[in-house]
Chains A and B, each alone.
Chain A
């Protein structure tokens, strides 16, 4: 299987890539790791005239700390996110999610920026990054702007990125002391993609009371969904088995999942409550340490 013919340009810098995007307009498409785009091109679901390769741009890879944020270059591959000491120390849920993507070979090529910009509704990273309140730095010729995660995933395979912007980095706030993070998923047994997944970020006082929580669920909609009712069911309450179970039971409220041949809507909603509970319990355990 071959993609349709296309032209290829290796960008030398972000600025260079922005100019190439302006030149090629709608006929151009950015290439990162290519692990969503190339399969789509081989299936002729996408036939861009020109690929603008960001893989040749230096400085877009790696994990660092800037003030109170973890900064992950958009071209950082999943394997490097999963094994990063900084990620594992500060936001283990993100390392966990990155380690669950695809398989070894896919994680060695697929990138965090490519994955979130592709915005597959069955992807792992949008869910965990929603729970972590990440933001996305988009660069255009007129400068940079940061897009908050709650505004970023707008629809199936659609983000708030404009056609003249390049996603350069993902910023993850380093959680406060007493915070635990966790990500769990029910993968499709053949593809490994998300059937339902849940991510939890819980801040816990020494007394055992929850002071802050963000819960995100994947697999129920066009993108990650904040389980607001679950969050409210935890905040200010003691993190007991009963409180957690009661809050998690609300994780699929007001959702209308798409049925598919593997899982029906009711099943997905039910699994979401179970996985929300698992994620919260795991996050609470980490918050204790």
Chain B
């Protein structure tokens, strides 16, 4: 009984893509599994599960983080944004559009994490050069090695965002 009480699920309140979710989670639940298995938001992927590949990147209070290395209880009270929260209705975010226009994906597995990292980059540095883009993507691995077009996609998005609305 003692062990069960000790490890009992705890209440959390986490706002994901603007919607507040109240849930009970085991303390050991990782944020990425909370998103995927509790909320069925499976756009965020689990790649290496060891905080290296970046496939699980989401925004936590506006910053790109690896959700395989954050406990759901640590996100209690926080705002989370996932790939599902980027588009505005039917309108893709410019970075999503860029990945489509510039063929920034091959198998697509790393894409949600790449896009979330790129959005964070462009929010902090709207006009990055190639080196800055590559540096910002250091924590995101593409096993298809499609990096050239990923960088092109982000440059396309930066240009689009500077140009304002269509």
Contacts and interface: CB of A to CB of B under 8 A. Distances in A.
Contacts of A102: 139
A236 interface: no
Interface string A96-127: 00000011111011000000000000000000
A53 B71 CA distance: 11
B57 A105 contact: yes
Contacts, number: 83
Interface in B46-71: 49-51, 54, 57, 60, 63-66, 69-71
B7 A105 contact: no
A35 B27 contact: no
Given A42-B50, A104-B64, A106-B66, A8 B27 contact: yes
A104 B117 contact: yes
A287 to B, nearest CB: 27
B22 interface: no
Interface string A45-68: 000011101010000000000000
B139 A109 contact: no
A3 B57 contact: no
A147 interface: no
Interface centre among B6, B30, B74 (most CB of A within 10 A): B74
Contact of A3 (B3, B28, B70): B28
Contacts of A8: 10, 27, 71, 73
A34 B70 contact: yes
18 contacts: A1-B50, A6-B28, A34-B74, A35-B51, A38-B69, A38-B70, A38-B71, A39-B51, A42-B50, A49-B6, A79-B63, A103-B54, A103-B139, A105-B57, A105-B66, A106-B51, A108-B60, A192-B138
B6 A7 contact: yes
Interface in B1-35: 3, 6-8, 10, 26-28, 30
Interface string B69-85: 11101101000000000
A53 B28 contact: no
A10 B28 contact: no
A53 B74 contact: yes
B122 interface: no
B105 to A, nearest CB: 19
Nearest to B69: A38
Contacts of B73: 8, 10, 53
Contact of B139 (A2, A7, A49, A106): A106
Interface centre among A31, A34, A38, A192 (most CB of B within 10 A): A38
Contacts of B120: 104
Interface of B: 3, 6-8, 10, 26-28, 30, 49-51, 54, 57, 60, 63-66, 69-71, 73-74, 76, 117, 120-121, 136, 138-140
B15 to A, nearest CB: 17
Contacts of B60: 108-109
A242 interface: no
A34 B8 CA distance: 20
A15 B8 CA distance: 24
Interface string A22-53: 00000000010011001100110000011101
A162 interface: no
Contacts of B63: 79, 108
Given A7-B6, A35-B51, A53-B73, A108 B65 contact: yes
A90 B28 CA distance: 40
A247 to B, nearest CB: 32
A56 B117 CA distance: 25
A265 interface: no
A289 interface: no
A5 interface: yes
B136 to A, nearest CB: 6
Contacts of A258: none
B132 to A, nearest CB: 11
A281 B12 CA distance: 51
Contact of B7 (A6, A34, A103): A6
A4 interface: yes
